[in-house]
Amino acid sequence: MIRVEPSGVAFEVAEGETIMVAAIRSGFTWPTICGGKGTCKTCVFLTLEGEENLAEMEPWEREGLASIAESLPNGGEGYRLACQAQVTGDVKLRKIGVRAA
């Protein structure tokens, strides 16, 4: 289960599915410009709980986050891209703009 703050939105994620794909499938919009290709970094979110339930970052996601780390609090520590992050368990995160489609 994914729980998004501050909106309180919650949805299920299938194994191997990204957070963004699961949100859209569940009837929610997730802020993006590139449509989930990992190039715009607009989908970036802060992990509040359950970081251990996120699959390890692929090089593409790591490079993308490194390119915006200076603009994020704490140098980007705890941040992931919703279009790339796959979930293996419950995660609570912070992302403004997630809402019912």
Residue 81 has pLDDT above 90, yes or no: yes
Of the candidate CATH numbers 3.10.20.30, 3.40.228.10, 3.40.50.720, 3.40.1360.10, the domain formed by 2-100 belongs to 3.10.20.30
Per-residue pLDDT tens for 12-71?
Answer: 999 889 999 999 999 999 999 999 999 999 999 999 999 999 999 999 899 999 999 999
Residue labelled with tokens 């599915």 = 17
Report, as an integer, the average pLDDT of 85-92.
96
pLDDT bracket for residue 79 (50, 70, 90): very high
Residue 101 has pLDDT above 90, yes or no: no
* pTM of the entire predicted model: 0.94
**Sign of torsion, CA 69 65 67 20?**
negative
What are the residue ranges spanned by the domains of the chain?
Answer: 2-100
Residue labelled with tokens 């368990």 = 89
Cβ neighbours of 42 (radius 10 Å): 14
| Beta strands, E only, 1-101 | 2-5, 9-11, 28-29, 44-49, 79-81, 91-94, 99-100
Are the CB atoms for 43 and 31 separated by under 8 Å? yes
Residue 16 confidence (pLDDT): 85
Residue 47 confidence (pLDDT): 98
Residue 1 confidence (pLDDT): 96
